[in-house]
Amino acid sequence: MTRRFEGKSVFITGAARGQGRSHAVQFAREGADVAISDICADVATVPYGLSSEDDLLQTVRLCEAEGAHVLSARVDVRDYDELSGFAAVAERELGKIDVLVANAGIFTFGALTELSSEQFGDMIDTNLKGTWHAVKAVVPGMARRGYGRVVIIGSSASLIGYPNVGHYVASKHAVLGLTRSLALEQAPNKITVNCVCPTGVHTTMLENEAAYALMSPENPTLEAALPVLASMNPLGEPWLEPEDVSRMVLFLASDEARYITGAEFKVDMGLTAP
C-alpha cells in the first residue's frame, strides 16, 4: 500500500515529546523523512520541565524504527539564526522541505495585570515569534519549488478567551492571524497554510502542578483537575491524546487537502461550538 508521504520531507519544531513527537512518528510511519528540533532545556518562566536531549533522541529512534531518514538538532525557536541554520541543513541533506509543522510552544499562567515582562515576552517570543521564525526559515524554499504545506498548531485559545492565561490566548490568536495572511501571500506559490486548534492535549503542558492549580486552586492535583477539564469539553473527556491532533495535521499536509488553505480546524470536542 502506498504511504501518503512517501518521498516527502517534513520539518517539525518542538518534536522531542508530546504533540511534536506524535506528529513526527506519524509522518515517518506514512513514509516521510523528518527534520525535528526542540529546545532541550528549561525556560525560567515556564513552571514545568521542558524537553531534554534524551527526549529528542527517543523521537529520533521512534521515527527511524518506522524507516525514516531523520535529522535532529537542539534549536530554540526564539533564535532565528539557530532555526534557519537547521532549516538550511535539512534542506541540503533531505533535498527539500515539503511540509512545515510549526508546533513548538509553551503554556504559562497568570492574570494579565500580574504577569512579569519576562513571562509575557517568553510566551510571545516562543509561540508567535517562534512560529514566524519557522515560516521565515522554511517557506522561501517551498516558494522556489512551487509547492508546500504549512500546518501551524494553534489552540482553542486561538478562537476564544480564557482567564489567567491571557498572554497564551494572545499568542494563539496571533498565530491564527499569521496563518490567514501567510495563506494569501503564498497561494500564488501553490503553498497551503492552515491552523489546527485543539482543546487541551494529554501532554506535560497540562499534566503538571501549575496547571492543576489553575484548574483546581483548592486541591491542585491531577485527580481534582481531571473533572474540571472534562466539564469544559461537551464530549466529556478531559483531554485529547496527541495522536488525535496528528490525524488532522497529516490530513492538512496531504494531497487530500490540496485546496484547503487559510483555514482553522478545530479538534476540540465541541468546546468552542457555543
User: Which whole-number Å values give the CA distances from 172 to 65, 152, 179, 198, 266, in the listed order?
Assistant: 33, 10, 11, 11, 13
User: Per-residue DSSP letters for 173-195?
Assistant: HHHHHHHHHHHHHHGGGTEEEEE
Report the pLDDT value the prediction gives residue 169, as an integer from 0 to 100: 98
Task: Specify whether 168 is catalytic.
Answer: yes
8 — pLDDT class (breaks 50, 70, 90) = very high
Report the pLDDT value the prediction gives residue 2, as an integer from 0 to 100: 73
pLDDT digits 0-9 by tens, 56-69: 999 999 999 999 99
Average pLDDT, the chain: 97
pLDDT digits 0-9 by tens, 151-181: 999 999 999 999 999 999 999 999 999 999 9
Rounded to two decimals, what is the model's pTM?
A: 0.97
Q: Are 178 and 128 in contact (CB under 8 A)?
A: yes
pLDDT digits 0-9 by tens, 198-244: 999 999 999 999 999 999 999 999 999 999 999 999 999 999 999 99
Q: Are 3 and 30 in contact (CB under 8 A)?
A: yes
What are the start and end residues of each CATH 3.40.50.720 domain in the chain? 9-201+249-265
Distance CA 212, CA 242 (A): 19
Strands (DSSP E) found in 7-138: 9-12, 33-38, 70-74, 99-102
pLDDT score of 269 more than 90: yes
Q: In the CATH hierarchy, which fold is given to the domain comprising 9-201+249-265?
A: Rossmann fold (3.40.50)
pLDDT score of 1 more than 90: no
Report the pLDDT value the prediction gives residue 201, as an integer from 0 to 100: 98
Residue 65, all three cell numbers: 524504527
Report the pLDDT value the prediction gives residue 33, as an integer from 0 to 100: 98
pLDDT score of 79 more than 80: yes
Report the pLDDT value the prediction gives residue 218, as an integer from 0 to 100: 94
| Catalytic residue from among 147, 168, 212, 259 | 168
Q: Are 127 and 171 in contact (CB under 8 A)?
A: yes
User: Which whole-number Å values give the CA distances from 174 to 35, 145, 267, in the listed order?
Assistant: 25, 28, 18
Distance CA 219, CA 260 (A): 44
Distance CA 145, CA 190 (A): 9
Provide mean pLDDT across the span 90-113: 98
Reduce the DSSP state of residue 53 to 3 states and report it. Answer: helix
Distance CA 143, CA 64 (A): 29
Order across the sheet with 148-153: list the strands.
Answer: 70-74, 33-38, 9-12, 99-102, 148-153, 191-198, 263-267
